Amino acid sequence: AGSDQGAAQISLANCERSLSCIDCVLARDPYCGWDAAGAACVSLSTPERHLIQNVAAGDASLCPDADPIKVVSLSVRVGGKLELSCPPPSSLTNVRWEQGNRVLTSSPRQQILLDKLLILNATAGDAGHYCCSSVERSKAGEFTTTVAEYQVSIDPADPNVCVRSVTPKPQTNGPSVAGLHAVIALLVIALAALSAWTFCKRYRPQFLNCTNRSEQTQEAVGHQNAARPAMAEAKPLVSEPQNSCRNNNAV
């Protein structure tokens, strides 16, 4: 790589990241190969070495048997949390966890993460042998490599921690049911009185106006009724001369 200020030489091989023969071969890096004598993945720039590599098919069956993995012993108390590390050897591999002969699947309590197995709220059933394997496919087949092994033991709960179950007891020194009913009745009465007072305050002016109008109407009707007899009494005074005129005409 170059720039206006200078040039830098970068190696095309990045062999140190492969820690086993299977990883080195399955990487199918044309610049790397596995050195069985030195037990390392090295650059192909050293032709005097006999290196194992198969770029075309990725056949890792040419690799010698790997050294056994040292089993790590761990213990955790009941209800505790446990982390089992298993860094994947490459980005192309799939990680598989086994407990005994049972393949584990991720669950809320046993979570299979990218580089570890997380066990929450440990129980006695979590004890046993754990194996983390790297599984990778190529044209030559499927190759499995053991990455880590653990022997997990579950310790009993701390005897100094006393766990007691609490049973609810009936209340004896608090307010009785009858007293509670009396309080509810008083609240209902107070609410009814408040509603009645609000109703009267809102609708009483309208009721008074209607009453005044009714009284005024009754007074007007009374005045009209009093005026009618006076008019009736005045009519005979006018009709009597008419009758006398009629009598005179008749004579």
Per-range mean pLDDT, top range of 33-37, 115-119, 157-161, 168-172: 115-119
Residue 77 above 60 pLDDT?
yes
Distance CA 180, CA 183 (A): 5
Give the helix/strand (H/E) hosting 153.
strand 141-155
- Domain 15-62 falls under CATH 2.40.50.140: no
Residues 6+ apart with CB under 8 A from 93: 26, 134, 135, 136
pTM for this prediction:
0.54
Over residues 197-229, the pLDDT tens digits come to 787 777 666 655 555 565 655 565 555 555 555
Instruction: Collapse the DSSP code of 14 into the 3-class scheme (helix H, G, I; strand E, B; otherwise coil) and give the result.
Output: coil
Q: What per-residue confidence (pLDDT) applies to 125?
A: 93
pLDDT band, very low/low/confident/very high, at 239 (cuts 50, 70, 90): very low
Indicate the pLDDT class of residue 168, thresholds 50, 70 and 90.
Answer: very low
**Residue spans per domain, the chain:** 15-62, 71-155, 179-234
Is 248 a residue whose pLDDT tops 70? no
Residue 212: per-residue pLDDT: 58
7, pLDDT greater than 50: yes
Of 1-5, 41-45, 242-246, the poorest mean pLDDT is in 242-246
Whether the pLDDT of residue 167 is over 50: the answer is: no
Distances from the Cα of 132 to the Cα of 118, 128, 151, 180, 186, angstroms: 13, 13, 12, 64, 72
CATH classification of 71-155 is 2.60.40.10, yes or no?
Answer: yes
How confident is the model at residue 98, as a pLDDT?
A: 96
Give the total residue count for the chain.
251
Contact by Cβ (8 Å): 117, 80: no
Q: Give residue 228's pLDDT.
A: 56
Q: How confident is the model at residue 44 (pLDDT cuts 50, 70, 90)?
A: confident
Query: How many CA within 13 A on the CB side of residue 27?
Result: 24
Q: Do the first three CATH levels of 15-62 and 71-155 match, i.e. the same topology?
A: no
What pLDDT is attached to residue 72? 95
Predicted confidence at residue 221, as pLDDT, reads 53
The predicted structure's pLDDT at residue 180? 76
Question: Percent helix, strand and coil across the chain, each rounded to 5?
Answer: 35, 25, 40
User: What are the two backbone dihedrals, phi and then psi, of residue 111, each rounded to the nearest 5 degrees?
Assistant: -100, 120
Q: What is the mean pLDDT of residues 244-250?
A: 41
Bigger pLDDT: 246 or 103?
103
In the chain, the percentage of residues whose pLDDT exceeds 70 is 69
Please tell me which residue, 78 or 245, carries the higher pLDDT value. 78
- Token readout for 119 is 């066990």
Q: Do 53 and 25 contact (CB within 8 A), yes or no? A: yes
pLDDT at 56: 84
Q: What is the pLDDT of residues 45-55, one digit of tens each?
A: 766 678 888 88
